[in-house]
Amino acid sequence: MFRPQPLHSRVVVADVFSLPFPADSFNLVTCSNLLFLLSEPVYAMEEIRRLVAPGGRLAMLNPSENLNDHSAGEYAREKGLHGMASATLLNWANRAVQNHRWTETETGELFTKAGFKYMGSTLRVGPGFARFSWGTAE
């Protein structure tokens, strides 16, 4: 999606385990639907923590424990989703089941292990398929 030409001059394609920015560079970092695909998400979170300035925030969205093939299929039928809309939701559910879905406890532990103060999370997307979480760098 970002190659060969970036969408914007400030778009950077990088490895989440080795981000090309100085420490304490950002007051806010967002991370959406990435960590659940990684076998070692805590290492990515530690690298993200390196970038967040003291008092800065991290906000992330990842699949919750409520997302699975059955619940996604039921939701797609209930909402009348077809074609790409249905396929995208079902693909997300399938990948989440194969990789990881985050509970409140696991999310808090991940933030803490990476050096963030965990502030909480809420369930979003339909019947709570995604966990929106946030924390601060101390």
pLDDT of residue 12: 82
Spell out the per-residue pLDDT of the chain, length 138, in tens.
556 666 677 778 899 999 999 999 999 999 999 999 999 999 999 999 999 999 999 999 999 999 999 999 999 999 999 999 999 999 999 999 999 999 999 999 999 999 999 999 999 999 999 999 999 998
The C-alpha R_g of the chain, in whole angstroms, comes to 16
Phi/psi at 34 (5° precision): -120, -50
Phi/psi at 122 (5° precision): -135, 155
pLDDT of residue 138: 86
pLDDT of residue 13: 83
- Inter-helix orientation angle 69-79/83-98, to 10°: 160
pLDDT of residue 11: 79
CATH architecture of 26-65+101-137: 3-Layer(aba) Sandwich (3.40)
pLDDT of residue 5: 67
The DSSP letter of residue 108 is H
pLDDT of residue 9: 74
- Is residue 95 within 8 A of residue 68, CB to CB? The reply is no
Q: Which amino acid is at 86?
A: S
pLDDT of residue 45: 96
